[in-house]
């Protein structure tokens, strides 16, 4: 899989929206098993600009989050997209989508996009799952989590 150079060199700042995006994948326990969340965050605003949830973490999961981000934000040419070296981000399909949007790929070392999504999962998602996990009734069901996420 092709590896992109690290264009941000741990400089987690951006001069304006849609100049640098970070991408990551995390997982959420549900009653049916793991639910995988891929997100794309604008580094300037810290806003999640694209996301997708699936019961797998294949290329299609990351691609769906990227597609949402591109369609909703319509970023200018030259955007830097930073991720770890996961196979999803290094895949030809994902790299083609970045090229098609005139976006420059940037990668840190494998599994080290500085874990921004695991450390700072979109707060509403983390609070929802962590609060529910320890209440009577146990874990959320995957369908419940998706439905609640869409209503936020």
What would the pLDDT profile of 62-103 be if each residue is shown by its tens digit?
Answer: 999 999 999 999 999 999 999 999 999 999 999 999 999 999
* 20-150 carries CATH number 3.30.420.10: yes
> What mean pLDDT do residues 42-52 have?
97
Find the helix or strand (DSSP H, E) in which 62 lies: helix 59-73
CA pair distance 149, 50, nearest whole angstrom: 13
pTM score:
0.76
Q: What is the pLDDT of residues 127-143, one digit of tens each?
A: 444 444 434 444 444 44
Asked whether residue 116 carries a pLDDT value surpassing 90, the answer given is no
Show me where the domains of the chain are located.
20-150
Contact 63, 57 (CB under 8 A): no
Asked whether residue 38 carries a pLDDT value surpassing 60, the answer given is yes
Contact 117, 145 (CB under 8 A): no
Instruction: Look at residue 112 in the predicted model and tell me its pLDDT.
Output: 55
Paired sense of beta strands 20-30 and 80-83, if any: parallel
């Amino acid at each position: 899989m092709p590896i992109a150079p690290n264009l941000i060199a741990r400089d987690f700042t951006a001069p304006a929206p849609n100049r640098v995006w970070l991408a990551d994948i995390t997982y959420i326990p549900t009653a049916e098993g793991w639910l995988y969340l891929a997100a794309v965050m604008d580094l300037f605003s810290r806003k999640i600009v694209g996301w997708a949830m699936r019961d797998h973490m294949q290329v299609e999961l990351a691609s769906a989050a990227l597609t949402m981000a591109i369609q909703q934000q319509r970023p200018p040419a030259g955007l830097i997209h930073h991720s770890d070296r996961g196979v999803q981000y290094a895949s030809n399909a994902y790299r083609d989508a970045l090229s098609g949007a005139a976006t420059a790929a940037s990668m840190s070392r494998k599994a080290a996009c500085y874990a921004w999504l695991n450390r700072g999962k979109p707060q509403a998602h983390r609070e929802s799952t962590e609060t529910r996990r320890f209440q009577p009734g146990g874990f959320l069901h995957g369908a419940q989590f998706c439905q609640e996420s869409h209503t936020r």
